[in-house]
Amino acid sequence: MSAIPSPGETYRPQTCSRTETALLHGWRFIRQDVAGAEGINFDDSTWPQTDLPHTWNNLDGEDGGDNYYRGSGWYRLHYRPAETFAGRVCFLKFDGAFLVTDVYVNGIWVGQHKGGFAAFSFDVSSQLKPGHDNVIAVKVNNSPNPEVPPLSADFTFFGGLYREVKLLITDPVHISPLDYGSCGVYLDASRVSSNSADLQVRAILFNASPREATVQIRALIADAWTNIVTTFESNLALSAGLNSTALLSGQIQKPHLWGGLADPYLYRVFVEVRNGSKLVDRVEQPLGFRYFNVDPSNGFFLNGRSYDLHGVSMHQDWVHQGWAVEDQQRVDNFALLKEVGATALRLSHYEHCEHTYDLADRNGLVVWTEIPLINQITDSPAFYANAAQQLRELIRQRYNHPSVICWGIFNEITMKKGPSPTRLAKQLAALAAQENPGRPSVSAANARDDEPSTWCSALSSFNKYFGWYNGEISDLGPWLDSVRAKNPARSIGISEYGAGANPAHHSETCGKPEPGGPFHPEEYQNLLHELHWQQMKARPFVWCKLLWNMADFASDARNEGGLPGLNDKGLVTYDRRLRKDAFYFYKANWTTDPMVYITGHTFTNRMANSITAKVYSNCDSVELFVNENSLGRRSSTNCIYTWAVTLLSGANSVRAVGTKDSKTVSDSLSWNGPAAPASVPTASAKGSVISAKGDSGATTDH
Of all helices (H) and strands (E), which one includes residue 13? Answer: none
Do the beta carbons of residue 376 and residue 418 sit within 8 Å?
yes
Residue 502 in contact with residue 563, Cβ under 8 Å? yes
What would you report as the CA-atom Rg of the chain, rounded to the nearest whole angstrom?
27
Q: Measured between alpha carbons, how far is 242 from 256 in angstroms, rounded to an integer?
A: 38
Q: What is the largest CA-CA distance in the chain?
A: 94
Q: Are 270 and 367 in contact (CB under 8 A)?
A: no
483 vs 454: CA distance, rounded Å: 12
CB atoms within 10 A of CB 620: 15
∠384-385-388 over CA atoms, to 5°? 90
Nearest to 550 by CA among 321, 314, 343: 314
Active site residue 514: no
Contacts of 690 (CB under 8 A, 6+ apart): 502, 503, 504, 563, 573, 578
Catalytic residue among 351, 393, 412, 508: 412
d(CA 338, CA 389): 33
C-alpha to C-alpha distance for 571 and 186, rounded to whole angstroms: 36
User: Is there a contact between 118 and 373 (Cβ–Cβ < 8 Å)?
Assistant: no
H or E element that contains 222: strand 213-222
Q: Can you give the three-state secondary structure of 156-205, one letter per residue?
A: CCCCECCCCEEEEEECCEEECCCCCCCCCEEEEEECCCCCEEEEEEEEEE
Q: Compute φ and ψ for 692, nearest 5 degrees.
A: -80, 125
User: How far apart are alpha carbons 215 and 50 in whole angstroms?
Assistant: 43
Which amino acids are annotated catalytic?
412
